[in-house]
Chains A and B, each alone.
Chain A
Amino acid sequence: MNNIDLIEKYFKKSLNDEEQVLFDNLLKSDQKFKEEFDFQKDLKKVIAVNQRESLKTTLQGFEDKFKKNKVIPMKWLMAAASVILILGLGYIIYQTSFNNSPEKLYADNFEPYRNIIQPVVRGESVDTIEAIAFAAYENGKYYKAINLFNSIEEKEYLKFYEAMCFLKLDKTQEAIDLLLPIATSNTNVEDLRFNFKHKANWYLGLAYLKMGDKNRAISQFSILANYPEDVYKKEKSKLILKKLN
Protein backbone atom coordinates (compact mmCIF):
# COMPACT_ATOMS: atom_id res chain seq x y z
CA MET A 1 0.00 0.00 0.00
CA ASN A 2 1.44 3.36 -0.93
CA ASN A 3 1.08 6.61 0.94
CA ILE A 4 -1.59 7.96 -1.36
CA ASP A 5 -3.79 5.00 -0.57
CA LEU A 6 -3.31 5.70 3.13
CA ILE A 7 -4.60 9.22 2.71
CA GLU A 8 -7.52 7.96 0.67
CA LYS A 9 -8.38 5.46 3.37
CA TYR A 10 -8.18 8.22 5.98
CA PHE A 11 -10.87 10.18 4.18
CA LYS A 12 -13.00 7.06 3.87
CA LYS A 13 -12.43 6.43 7.60
CA SER A 14 -11.32 2.93 6.75
CA LEU A 15 -7.79 2.84 8.21
CA ASN A 16 -7.24 -0.21 10.37
CA ASP A 17 -5.17 0.02 13.56
CA GLU A 18 -1.93 -0.90 11.88
CA GLU A 19 -2.49 1.59 9.06
CA GLN A 20 -3.42 4.27 11.54
CA VAL A 21 -0.06 3.93 13.31
CA LEU A 22 1.74 4.10 9.98
CA PHE A 23 -0.34 7.12 9.02
CA ASP A 24 0.45 8.96 12.26
CA ASN A 25 4.15 8.26 11.95
CA LEU A 26 4.32 9.46 8.37
CA LEU A 27 2.52 12.65 9.36
CA LYS A 28 5.26 13.37 11.90
CA SER A 29 8.28 12.28 9.92
CA ASP A 30 7.50 12.79 6.23
CA GLN A 31 7.13 16.47 5.31
CA LYS A 32 5.91 15.67 1.80
CA PHE A 33 3.29 13.29 3.13
CA LYS A 34 2.08 15.95 5.58
CA GLU A 35 1.87 18.53 2.81
CA GLU A 36 -0.16 16.19 0.63
CA PHE A 37 -2.50 15.36 3.49
CA ASP A 38 -2.95 19.01 4.47
CA PHE A 39 -3.70 19.89 0.88
CA GLN A 40 -6.42 17.28 0.63
CA LYS A 41 -7.86 18.30 3.99
CA ASP A 42 -8.02 21.92 2.82
CA LEU A 43 -9.57 20.77 -0.42
CA LYS A 44 -12.24 18.84 1.45
CA LYS A 45 -13.18 21.99 3.36
CA VAL A 46 -13.15 24.09 0.19
CA ILE A 47 -15.41 21.62 -1.58
CA ALA A 48 -17.77 21.52 1.41
CA VAL A 49 -18.11 25.31 1.42
CA ASN A 50 -18.53 25.28 -2.34
CA GLN A 51 -21.26 22.63 -2.12
CA ARG A 52 -23.05 24.51 0.63
CA GLU A 53 -23.06 27.66 -1.45
CA SER A 54 -24.55 25.88 -4.44
CA LEU A 55 -27.01 24.07 -2.19
CA LYS A 56 -28.08 27.42 -0.77
CA THR A 57 -28.76 28.62 -4.31
CA THR A 58 -30.81 25.49 -4.97
CA LEU A 59 -32.80 26.06 -1.78
CA GLN A 60 -33.41 29.66 -2.72
CA GLY A 61 -34.84 28.31 -5.97
CA PHE A 62 -37.26 26.10 -3.99
CA GLU A 63 -38.16 29.12 -1.92
CA ASP A 64 -38.91 31.29 -4.94
CA LYS A 65 -41.07 28.54 -6.37
CA PHE A 66 -42.84 28.16 -3.04
CA LYS A 67 -43.59 31.86 -2.80
CA LYS A 68 -44.87 31.96 -6.35
CA ASN A 69 -47.22 29.04 -5.84
CA LYS A 70 -48.45 30.15 -2.48
CA VAL A 71 -52.12 31.05 -2.39
CA ILE A 72 -52.34 34.63 -1.20
CA PRO A 73 -54.08 34.65 2.20
CA MET A 74 -57.30 36.61 2.52
CA LYS A 75 -55.85 39.11 4.95
CA TRP A 76 -53.20 40.08 2.41
CA LEU A 77 -55.84 40.50 -0.25
CA MET A 78 -57.74 42.77 2.10
CA ALA A 79 -54.61 44.71 2.88
CA ALA A 80 -53.87 45.08 -0.82
CA ALA A 81 -57.43 46.28 -1.45
CA SER A 82 -57.09 48.85 1.33
CA VAL A 83 -53.86 50.14 -0.11
CA ILE A 84 -55.43 50.54 -3.54
CA LEU A 85 -58.44 52.28 -2.01
CA ILE A 86 -56.26 54.68 -0.03
CA LEU A 87 -54.11 55.43 -3.06
CA GLY A 88 -57.22 55.99 -5.15
CA LEU A 89 -58.77 58.35 -2.62
CA GLY A 90 -55.48 60.14 -2.23
CA TYR A 91 -55.30 60.63 -5.96
CA ILE A 92 -58.83 62.01 -6.12
CA ILE A 93 -58.20 64.36 -3.20
CA TYR A 94 -54.93 65.45 -4.74
CA GLN A 95 -56.61 66.05 -8.09
CA THR A 96 -59.51 68.04 -6.66
CA SER A 97 -57.34 70.14 -4.42
CA PHE A 98 -54.95 70.79 -7.24
CA ASN A 99 -57.78 71.69 -9.58
CA ASN A 100 -59.00 74.29 -7.11
CA SER A 101 -55.58 75.50 -6.09
CA PRO A 102 -55.04 79.25 -6.64
CA GLU A 103 -52.09 78.52 -8.95
CA LYS A 104 -54.22 76.28 -11.13
CA LEU A 105 -57.08 78.80 -11.21
CA TYR A 106 -54.65 81.49 -12.24
CA ALA A 107 -53.14 79.36 -14.98
CA ASP A 108 -56.58 78.40 -16.26
CA ASN A 109 -57.93 81.93 -16.37
CA PHE A 110 -55.09 84.27 -17.09
CA GLU A 111 -54.80 85.56 -20.56
CA PRO A 112 -53.51 89.08 -21.22
CA TYR A 113 -56.21 91.48 -22.21
CA ARG A 114 -56.33 92.05 -25.91
CA ASN A 115 -55.21 95.30 -27.40
CA ILE A 116 -58.36 97.32 -27.94
CA ILE A 117 -56.58 100.64 -28.00
CA GLN A 118 -54.35 100.58 -31.01
CA PRO A 119 -55.31 97.65 -33.20
CA VAL A 120 -52.35 96.98 -35.41
CA VAL A 121 -53.48 96.93 -38.93
CA ARG A 122 -51.28 95.06 -41.29
CA GLY A 123 -49.56 97.11 -43.88
CA GLU A 124 -50.29 100.36 -42.07
CA SER A 125 -47.22 102.27 -41.08
CA VAL A 126 -46.79 102.67 -37.33
CA ASP A 127 -45.38 105.97 -36.24
CA THR A 128 -46.55 107.10 -32.78
CA ILE A 129 -44.74 105.75 -29.72
CA GLU A 130 -48.06 104.50 -28.35
CA ALA A 131 -48.68 102.56 -31.55
CA ILE A 132 -45.17 101.09 -31.44
CA ALA A 133 -45.75 100.14 -27.80
CA PHE A 134 -48.96 98.29 -28.63
CA ALA A 135 -47.34 96.62 -31.58
CA ALA A 136 -44.63 95.34 -29.21
CA TYR A 137 -47.36 94.21 -26.80
CA GLU A 138 -49.13 92.27 -29.51
CA ASN A 139 -45.90 90.69 -30.61
CA GLY A 140 -45.12 89.51 -27.09
CA LYS A 141 -42.17 91.88 -26.68
CA TYR A 142 -43.24 92.78 -23.15
CA TYR A 143 -40.05 94.42 -21.90
CA LYS A 144 -39.98 96.70 -24.90
CA ALA A 145 -43.66 97.46 -24.43
CA ILE A 146 -43.15 98.34 -20.73
CA ASN A 147 -40.36 100.76 -21.61
CA LEU A 148 -42.45 102.42 -24.26
CA PHE A 149 -45.58 102.62 -22.07
CA ASN A 150 -43.43 104.33 -19.43
CA SER A 151 -42.04 106.83 -21.89
CA ILE A 152 -45.37 108.37 -22.82
CA GLU A 153 -47.82 110.51 -20.98
CA GLU A 154 -49.49 108.69 -18.07
CA LYS A 155 -52.88 107.30 -18.96
CA GLU A 156 -54.87 104.76 -16.99
CA TYR A 157 -55.17 102.35 -19.88
CA LEU A 158 -51.43 102.46 -20.48
CA LYS A 159 -50.88 101.45 -16.84
CA PHE A 160 -53.35 98.64 -17.36
CA TYR A 161 -51.50 97.26 -20.35
CA GLU A 162 -48.22 97.69 -18.62
CA ALA A 163 -49.64 95.52 -15.81
CA MET A 164 -50.55 92.90 -18.44
CA CYS A 165 -46.91 92.87 -19.49
CA PHE A 166 -45.74 92.35 -15.91
CA LEU A 167 -48.23 89.53 -15.37
CA LYS A 168 -47.01 87.91 -18.53
CA LEU A 169 -43.45 88.23 -17.25
CA ASP A 170 -44.43 86.70 -13.88
CA LYS A 171 -43.62 89.97 -12.11
CA THR A 172 -46.86 89.78 -10.21
CA GLN A 173 -46.16 92.35 -7.50
CA GLU A 174 -45.34 95.04 -10.10
CA ALA A 175 -48.59 94.24 -11.85
CA ILE A 176 -50.54 94.51 -8.61
CA ASP A 177 -49.00 97.92 -7.88
CA LEU A 178 -50.22 99.17 -11.24
CA LEU A 179 -53.65 97.54 -11.10
CA LEU A 180 -54.65 98.60 -7.59
CA PRO A 181 -55.11 102.35 -8.36
CA ILE A 182 -57.14 101.47 -11.45
CA ALA A 183 -59.38 99.02 -9.56
CA THR A 184 -60.04 101.51 -6.75
CA SER A 185 -60.35 104.66 -8.83
CA ASN A 186 -63.56 106.57 -8.65
CA THR A 187 -63.15 108.47 -11.85
CA ASN A 188 -66.07 107.74 -13.97
CA VAL A 189 -64.88 106.99 -17.45
CA GLU A 190 -67.89 107.31 -19.67
CA ASP A 191 -66.36 105.67 -22.69
CA LEU A 192 -66.49 101.98 -21.80
CA ARG A 193 -63.65 101.36 -24.17
CA PHE A 194 -61.38 103.23 -21.76
CA ASN A 195 -62.98 102.00 -18.56
CA PHE A 196 -60.55 99.46 -17.12
CA LYS A 197 -61.89 99.44 -13.54
CA HIS A 198 -63.64 96.06 -13.72
CA LYS A 199 -60.93 94.57 -15.84
CA ALA A 200 -58.47 95.68 -13.18
CA ASN A 201 -60.59 93.91 -10.54
CA TRP A 202 -60.43 90.76 -12.58
CA TYR A 203 -56.71 90.82 -13.22
CA LEU A 204 -56.00 91.92 -9.66
CA GLY A 205 -57.96 88.88 -8.48
CA LEU A 206 -55.89 86.65 -10.72
CA ALA A 207 -52.66 88.29 -9.58
CA TYR A 208 -53.58 87.63 -5.94
CA LEU A 209 -54.31 84.01 -6.87
CA LYS A 210 -50.86 83.81 -8.36
CA MET A 211 -49.42 85.20 -5.14
CA GLY A 212 -51.41 82.65 -3.16
CA ASP A 213 -53.32 85.43 -1.42
CA LYS A 214 -56.71 83.78 -1.45
CA ASN A 215 -58.56 86.31 0.67
CA ARG A 216 -57.62 89.33 -1.40
CA ALA A 217 -58.39 87.37 -4.56
CA ILE A 218 -61.85 86.55 -3.19
CA SER A 219 -62.61 90.21 -2.42
CA GLN A 220 -61.74 91.23 -6.01
CA PHE A 221 -63.82 88.48 -7.60
CA SER A 222 -66.68 89.26 -5.18
CA ILE A 223 -66.84 92.84 -6.49
CA LEU A 224 -67.47 91.48 -9.97
CA ALA A 225 -69.73 88.61 -8.96
CA ASN A 226 -71.98 90.82 -6.82
CA TYR A 227 -72.11 93.75 -9.21
CA PRO A 228 -75.76 94.70 -9.80
CA GLU A 229 -75.29 95.03 -13.53
CA ASP A 230 -73.72 92.76 -16.03
CA VAL A 231 -70.02 93.45 -15.88
CA TYR A 232 -66.83 92.10 -17.26
CA LYS A 233 -66.19 88.43 -16.20
CA LYS A 234 -69.15 88.41 -13.80
CA GLU A 235 -70.03 84.74 -14.37
CA LYS A 236 -66.41 83.62 -14.47
CA SER A 237 -65.86 85.32 -11.11
CA LYS A 238 -68.79 83.47 -9.57
CA LEU A 239 -67.30 80.22 -10.80
CA ILE A 240 -63.92 80.95 -9.33
CA LEU A 241 -65.45 81.94 -6.01
CA LYS A 242 -67.29 78.63 -5.92
CA LYS A 243 -64.04 76.77 -6.46
CA LEU A 244 -62.20 78.81 -3.87
CA ASN A 245 -64.77 78.15 -1.13
Chain B
Amino acid sequence: MREELTDKILESLKRGDNATLEKIYIDNRVAFINFSKKFGLPEVDALDVYQDAIIAFHENAINGKINSFNSSVSTYLFAIGKFMIFQLLRVDSGIEFDSNMMIEEKNIEFDVNLYDEKLTNKQKVIAKHFKMLGERCKEVLSLFYYQGYTLGEIAVILGYSTKNVLKSSKSRCLKQLKEMINN
Protein backbone atom coordinates (compact mmCIF):
# COMPACT_ATOMS: atom_id res chain seq x y z
CA MET B 1 0.00 0.00 0.00
CA ARG B 2 2.58 2.55 1.07
CA GLU B 3 4.50 2.47 -2.11
CA GLU B 4 7.37 4.92 -2.21
CA LEU B 5 7.32 7.45 -4.98
CA THR B 6 10.28 6.67 -7.07
CA ASP B 7 11.67 8.12 -10.28
CA LYS B 8 10.63 4.92 -11.93
CA ILE B 9 6.98 5.42 -11.02
CA LEU B 10 7.04 9.07 -12.02
CA GLU B 11 8.63 8.22 -15.33
CA SER B 12 6.08 5.45 -16.03
CA LEU B 13 3.26 7.87 -15.33
CA LYS B 14 4.77 10.45 -17.60
CA ARG B 15 5.13 7.88 -20.35
CA GLY B 16 1.45 7.06 -20.01
CA ASP B 17 2.01 3.56 -18.65
CA ASN B 18 -1.49 2.38 -17.82
CA ALA B 19 -0.40 -0.61 -15.76
CA THR B 20 1.33 1.67 -13.23
CA LEU B 21 -1.66 3.98 -13.11
CA GLU B 22 -4.07 1.07 -12.69
CA LYS B 23 -2.06 -0.33 -9.79
CA ILE B 24 -2.14 3.06 -8.05
CA TYR B 25 -5.86 3.36 -8.75
CA ILE B 26 -6.72 -0.06 -7.35
CA ASP B 27 -4.32 0.09 -4.39
CA ASN B 28 -5.82 3.27 -3.00
CA ARG B 29 -9.42 3.08 -4.10
CA VAL B 30 -11.10 1.40 -1.14
CA ALA B 31 -9.19 3.43 1.45
CA PHE B 32 -9.99 6.66 -0.35
CA ILE B 33 -13.71 5.95 -0.67
CA ASN B 34 -13.87 5.07 3.04
CA PHE B 35 -11.94 8.23 3.83
CA SER B 36 -14.45 10.29 1.80
CA LYS B 37 -17.33 8.73 3.67
CA LYS B 38 -16.05 10.35 6.86
CA PHE B 39 -16.96 13.66 5.27
CA GLY B 40 -20.42 12.42 4.40
CA LEU B 41 -19.70 12.16 0.72
CA PRO B 42 -21.97 9.68 -1.11
CA GLU B 43 -20.08 6.95 -2.93
CA VAL B 44 -20.89 8.32 -6.38
CA ASP B 45 -19.38 11.69 -5.50
CA ALA B 46 -16.49 10.08 -3.67
CA LEU B 47 -15.65 8.07 -6.76
CA ASP B 48 -15.77 11.18 -8.88
CA VAL B 49 -13.45 13.04 -6.51
CA TYR B 50 -11.14 10.04 -6.37
CA GLN B 51 -10.80 9.94 -10.14
CA ASP B 52 -10.20 13.69 -10.27
CA ALA B 53 -7.58 13.33 -7.55
CA ILE B 54 -5.84 10.62 -9.57
CA ILE B 55 -5.88 12.87 -12.62
CA ALA B 56 -4.46 15.78 -10.61
CA PHE B 57 -1.86 13.49 -9.08
CA HIS B 58 -0.97 12.24 -12.53
CA GLU B 59 -0.67 15.77 -13.83
CA ASN B 60 1.50 16.85 -10.92
CA ALA B 61 3.71 13.85 -11.50
CA ILE B 62 4.29 14.57 -15.16
CA ASN B 63 4.74 18.30 -14.59
CA GLY B 64 7.57 17.60 -12.24
CA LYS B 65 5.65 19.12 -9.32
CA ILE B 66 6.12 15.93 -7.39
CA ASN B 67 9.75 15.33 -6.68
CA SER B 68 9.94 14.61 -3.01
CA PHE B 69 11.08 11.11 -2.25
CA ASN B 70 10.14 11.03 1.38
CA SER B 71 6.45 10.40 0.86
CA SER B 72 4.40 7.60 -0.52
CA VAL B 73 2.05 7.59 -3.49
CA SER B 74 -0.95 7.39 -1.18
CA THR B 75 0.18 10.34 0.96
CA TYR B 76 0.17 12.51 -2.12
CA LEU B 77 -3.03 11.13 -3.44
CA PHE B 78 -4.87 11.60 -0.16
CA ALA B 79 -3.52 15.12 0.26
CA ILE B 80 -4.84 16.09 -3.16
CA GLY B 81 -8.09 14.24 -2.60
CA LYS B 82 -8.68 15.83 0.78
CA PHE B 83 -8.15 19.25 -0.71
CA MET B 84 -10.68 18.41 -3.42
CA ILE B 85 -13.25 17.12 -0.94
CA PHE B 86 -12.98 20.36 1.05
CA GLN B 87 -13.29 22.37 -2.10
CA LEU B 88 -16.40 20.41 -3.07
CA LEU B 89 -18.00 20.71 0.37
CA ARG B 90 -17.18 24.40 0.53
CA VAL B 91 -18.86 24.98 -2.81
CA ASP B 92 -21.85 22.87 -1.82
CA SER B 93 -22.50 24.15 1.66
CA GLY B 94 -20.66 27.41 1.97
CA ILE B 95 -18.91 26.10 5.08
CA GLU B 96 -15.49 27.58 5.72
CA PHE B 97 -12.94 25.05 6.81
CA ASP B 98 -10.39 25.54 9.46
CA SER B 99 -7.01 25.99 7.92
CA ASN B 100 -5.43 23.58 10.39
CA MET B 101 -7.32 20.75 8.71
CA MET B 102 -4.65 20.84 6.08
CA ILE B 103 -1.76 20.86 8.50
CA GLU B 104 -0.58 17.33 8.05
CA GLU B 105 -0.14 17.91 4.37
CA LYS B 106 1.52 21.31 4.60
CA ASN B 107 4.89 19.98 3.60
CA ILE B 108 3.54 18.58 0.37
CA GLU B 109 3.27 20.81 -2.63
CA PHE B 110 0.70 20.16 -5.25
CA ASP B 111 -1.22 21.99 -7.84
CA VAL B 112 -4.94 21.41 -8.23
CA ASN B 113 -6.12 23.41 -11.19
CA LEU B 114 -8.78 21.06 -12.43
CA TYR B 115 -11.58 23.33 -11.34
CA ASP B 116 -10.75 25.93 -13.92
CA GLU B 117 -11.60 23.74 -16.85
CA LYS B 118 -13.94 26.01 -18.71
CA LEU B 119 -12.63 26.60 -22.21
CA THR B 120 -12.95 30.01 -23.84
CA ASN B 121 -14.78 30.12 -27.16
CA LYS B 122 -11.46 30.40 -28.95
CA GLN B 123 -10.17 27.33 -27.12
CA LYS B 124 -13.34 25.42 -27.97
CA VAL B 125 -12.67 26.02 -31.66
CA ILE B 126 -9.11 24.81 -31.23
CA ALA B 127 -10.34 21.76 -29.32
CA LYS B 128 -12.76 20.85 -32.08
CA HIS B 129 -10.07 20.91 -34.74
CA PHE B 130 -7.40 19.34 -32.56
CA LYS B 131 -9.55 16.22 -32.35
CA MET B 132 -9.56 16.03 -36.16
CA LEU B 133 -5.78 16.15 -36.47
CA GLY B 134 -3.89 13.01 -37.44
CA GLU B 135 -2.89 10.65 -34.63
CA ARG B 136 0.81 11.38 -35.07
CA CYS B 137 0.28 15.13 -34.75
CA LYS B 138 -1.87 14.69 -31.67
CA GLU B 139 0.79 12.50 -30.14
CA VAL B 140 3.64 14.90 -30.83
CA LEU B 141 1.73 17.92 -29.57
CA SER B 142 0.48 16.11 -26.46
CA LEU B 143 3.96 14.86 -25.57
CA PHE B 144 5.26 18.41 -25.89
CA TYR B 145 2.49 20.46 -24.28
CA TYR B 146 1.02 18.00 -21.79
CA GLN B 147 3.69 15.51 -20.85
CA GLY B 148 6.25 18.30 -21.13
CA TYR B 149 8.94 16.35 -22.90
CA THR B 150 11.64 18.26 -24.76
CA LEU B 151 11.83 17.90 -28.52
CA GLY B 152 14.96 15.81 -28.08
CA GLU B 153 13.14 13.38 -25.78
CA ILE B 154 10.11 13.17 -28.06
CA ALA B 155 12.35 12.37 -31.01
CA VAL B 156 13.72 9.41 -29.07
CA ILE B 157 10.31 8.24 -27.85
CA LEU B 158 8.73 8.35 -31.30
CA GLY B 159 11.81 7.13 -33.13
CA TYR B 160 12.62 10.18 -35.22
CA SER B 161 16.11 10.15 -36.72
CA THR B 162 16.98 13.62 -35.49
CA LYS B 163 15.56 16.31 -33.30
CA ASN B 164 15.28 18.61 -36.31
CA VAL B 165 13.04 16.23 -38.24
CA LEU B 166 10.69 16.20 -35.27
CA LYS B 167 10.92 19.96 -34.91
CA SER B 168 9.73 20.57 -38.46
CA SER B 169 7.10 17.89 -37.99
CA LYS B 170 5.76 19.73 -34.94
CA SER B 171 5.75 23.04 -36.88
CA ARG B 172 3.79 21.39 -39.66
CA CYS B 173 1.24 20.08 -37.19
CA LEU B 174 0.75 23.55 -35.68
CA LYS B 175 0.44 25.05 -39.16
CA GLN B 176 -2.08 22.43 -40.20
CA LEU B 177 -4.17 23.05 -37.08
CA LYS B 178 -4.16 26.80 -37.72
CA GLU B 179 -5.19 26.29 -41.32
CA MET B 180 -8.05 24.01 -40.26
CA ILE B 181 -9.25 26.67 -37.85
CA ASN B 182 -9.01 29.51 -40.35
CA ASN B 183 -10.79 27.76 -43.16
Question: Measuring CB to CB, which residues of chain A are less than 8 angstroms from any residue of chain B?
Answer: 4, 8, 11-12, 39-40, 42-52, 55-56, 58-60, 62-63, 66
Give A76 Cβ to nearest chain B Cβ, in Å: 14
Assess whether A59 is in contact with B25, with CB atoms less than 8 Å apart. Answer: yes
In angstroms, Cα B114 to Cα A77, docked, is 39
Question: Measuring CB to CB, which residues of chain B are less than 8 angstroms from any residue of chain A?
Answer: 18, 21-22, 25-26, 29, 47, 51, 54-55, 58-59, 114, 117, 119-120, 122-123, 126-127, 130-131, 141-142, 144-146, 148, 150-151, 171, 174, 177-178
- 6 extra A-B contacts, CB within 8 A, seeds A39-B126, A63-B29: A8-B151, A11-B145, A42-B122, A43-B126, A47-B130, A50-B127
Complex interface: chain A residues within 8 A of B142 (CB): 47, 50-51
Complex interface: chain A residues within 8 A of B18 (CB): 58
Task: Output the nearest chain A residue to B62 by Cβ-Cβ distance.
Answer: A51
Contact of A46 among B22, B29, B126 (CB under 8 A): B126
Assess whether A62 is in contact with B25, with CB atoms less than 8 Å apart. Answer: yes
Contact of A47 among B26, B51, B117, B145 (CB under 8 A): B145
In angstroms, Cα B126 to Cα A46, docked, is 7
Task: Output the nearest chain A residue to B142 by Cβ-Cβ distance.
Answer: A47
In angstroms, Cα B54 to Cα A60, docked, is 12
In angstroms, Cα B117 to Cα A21, docked, is 30
Assess whether B54 is in contact with A46, with CB atoms less than 8 Å apart. Answer: no
Question: In the complex where A55-B58, A56-B55 touch, is A62 in contact with B26 (Cβ < 8 A)?
Answer: yes
Assess whether B114 is in contact with A52, with CB atoms less than 8 Å apart. Answer: yes
Assess whether A59 is in contact with B51, with CB atoms less than 8 Å apart. Answer: yes
Complex interface: chain B residues within 8 A of A12 (CB): 148, 150
Assess whether A48 is in contact with B130, with CB atoms less than 8 Å apart. Answer: no
Question: In the complex where A59-B51, A59-B55, A60-B51 touch, is A42 in contact with B123 (Cβ < 8 A)?
Answer: yes
In angstroms, Cα B123 to Cα A55, docked, is 20
23 A/B residue pairs, CB under 8 Å, sorted by A: A11-B145, A11-B148, A39-B174, A43-B145, A43-B174, A45-B119, A46-B123, A46-B126, A46-B127, A47-B130, A47-B141, A47-B145, A47-B146, A50-B131, A51-B146, A52-B117, A55-B55, A56-B51, A58-B21, A59-B51, A63-B29, A63-B47, A66-B26
Question: In the complex where A12-B150, A40-B174, A45-B119 touch, is A50 in contact with B130 (Cβ < 8 A)?
Answer: yes
